[in-house]
Amino acid sequence: MDKVYLGVDVGSISINIVLINEHKQLLYQSYVQGAGDPVKTVQNAMKEFSAFMADYPDRKISGVCTTGSGRELIGLLLGADLVKNEISAHARAAVHLYPEVQTIIEIGGQDSKVAILRDGLVVDFAMNLVCAAGTGSFLESQARRLNLSIEDFGCIAMESENPATIAGRCTVFAESDMIHKQQIGVLQKDIIMGLCLALARNYAGNVCRGKELKPPCLFQGGVSANPGMRKAFEIILGYPVIVPEYNMVMGAYGAAILVLEAMPEQTQFQGYEIQALDIRSSGFVCQDCSNQCTIMEIRNNDLILKCSGGRCEKWIT
């Protein structure tokens, strides 16, 4: 039997699945939108994955790692052998593909991160979880407002030769500024590229404040597929930015590598069973103290799988 390893990245917008062999070669990848229900999305994704695996009976899943904001819950449901944070997973994939990497820009659907590496190790990092400016959800909302697909949005930005000056520190101000530029007749391509530059400046000045962004620099996550944002970062940083081959699934790829290197003796993987589970969530307000925390319960029929949302340890499962 050939040993294979599964990495699952559960983000705020997308669910990514990667399967690798013992040589860290990618055998399968899946990038699907979460649609606000990560459990149901993972259930559907595992149906597709199990159908793929049925064609390869000689492959045996020997380890599973989950990462991303939903890593704990999905790790519990899948029977993950390893649960790792996004910084570790993205960095491991980056170092495997580009051993000399010194900076990682990672921008997803709802948040953005930077990791500073030296000699293959993460020495500093930062995350922006407060403002959506520059994230995938904001760029998609602006593309829809302009009646463009997100793919066309990035390509049109590349046509600009005279980018407009757009305020990028806040989503509200950025949108207002774009509307104003439209009303005074600025070309659409210049507005779009101006927005990309504003968001890159905001990222460099906010998320990366006080950090030395040395090349080689990798650009990962969903927003890295936008050529306008890549060009904007190259202009702001003053050197080429590399978009790796597996840019959309680097978190899952890194997770798969991490569990391969951890070499669990016996995997706990039970992911195929998740398809048949009747998983539901419900919430209530705990009245035991003045905090009145909203507690979320995840159940499989009457069995409580996980509780979250409390400030104390009472509801930790």
Would residue 221 count as lying in a domain? yes
C-alpha neighbours within 13 Å on the C-beta side of residue 117: 25
- Looking at residue 180, its pLDDT comes to 85
State whether 69 and 151 are in the same domain: no
DSSP state of 205: I
Within a domain: residue 24?
yes
Residues 210, 130 share a domain: yes
Q: Clarify whether residues 262 and 220 are in a common domain.
A: no
Residue span of the structural domain in which 105 resides:
99-243
Say if residue 74 is in the same domain as residue 121.
no
At 244-256, the pLDDT tens digits run: 999 999 999 999 9
Residues 271 and 290 in one domain: no
Q: Is residue 317 part of a domain?
A: no
Domain shared by 166 and 272, yes or no: no
Number of domains comprising the chain: 3
Is 48 among the domain residues? yes
pLDDT band (50, 70, 90) for residue 145: confident
Nearest-angstrom CA–CA distance, 263 and 58: 19
> What pTM value is reported for the model?
0.87
* Contact between residue 295 and residue 314 where contact means Cβ atoms under 8 Å apart: no
Same domain, 46 and 138: no
Average pLDDT over residues 120-134: 79
pLDDT of residue 310: 79
The CATH number given to whatever domain includes residue 113 is: 3.30.420.40
Strand order in the sheet with 303-308: 279-285, 294-300, 303-308
Pick from 265, 261, 262, 302: nearest CA to 280: 302
Does 110 lie in the same domain as 180? Answer: yes
Same domain? For 201 and 213 the reply is yes
Task: Answer yes or no: is 7 within a domain.
Answer: yes
Q: Is residue 154 part of a domain?
A: yes
pLDDT at residue 282 greater than cutoff 80: no
Cβ(196)–Cβ(229) under 8 Å? yes
How far apart are the C-alpha atoms of 200 and 247, rounded to whole Å? 18
Last residue of one domain, picked from the residues 243, 266, 287: 243
Question: Which token pair is 210?
Answer: 């006080």
Question: What pLDDT is recorded for position 299?
Answer: 78
CB 63 within 8 A of CB 75: no
Most confident of 165-174, 194-203, 255-264: 255-264
Residue 315, in any domain of the structure: no
Let me know whether 118 and 237 are in one domain.
Answer: yes
Answer yes or no: do 257 and 302 share one domain.
no
Strands (E) located in the chain: 2-10, 14-21, 26-33, 59-67, 82-83, 103-107, 112-118, 121-128, 217-220, 241-242, 279-285, 294-300, 303-308
Share of the chain above pLDDT 90, in %: 50
User: Cβ distance 264 to 256 under 8 Å?
Assistant: no
- Assess whether 132 and 197 both reside in one domain: yes
Mean of pLDDT over the chain: 88
For the stretch 14-59, pLDDT in tens is 899 999 999 999 999 999 887 677 888 888 889 899 999 999 999 9
Domain boundary among 243, 266, 296: 243
Position 175 in a domain: yes
